Amino acid sequence: MKINEIRALSSEELTKQLKTANRELFDIRLKAISRHLGNHREIPRAKKKIARIQTVLREKELGMQ
């Protein structure tokens, strides 16, 4: 998801996306531990997605947008 797409979402949708992304990261880490993870670059990708969502939520909270 690109930053422009994330900024277009409402706060409620962002919260849902954040929960989904956190769950996704948890699942990826579980796969990594059990050695079933095909691509190890999925972990940083999921972390960046979470960071982008949190950044946009904070921007909305501060009224920067």
- CATH number for the domain spanning 49: value is 1.10.287.310
Interacting residues of 42 by C-beta distance below 8 A, sequence separation 6+: 28
The model's pTM is: 0.89
Structure tokens that stand for 5 in this block: 């797409």
CA-CA distance, 32 to 51, in Å (whole number)? 21
13 is in which domain, residue-wise? 3-62
- Name the band, by pLDDT with cuts 50, 70 and 90, for residue 65: low
Q: Total domain count for the chain? A: 1
Report the pLDDT value the prediction gives residue 37, as an integer from 0 to 100: 87
CA 55 vs. chain centroid, Å, equals: 10
pLDDT tens per residue across span 1-56 = 789 999 999 999 999 999 999 999 999 999 999 989 889 999 999 999 999 999 99
CA angle 48/12/65 to nearest 5° reads 70
Q: Residue 64 pLDDT > 70, yes or no?
A: yes
CA-CA distance, 57 to 15, in Å (whole number)? 8
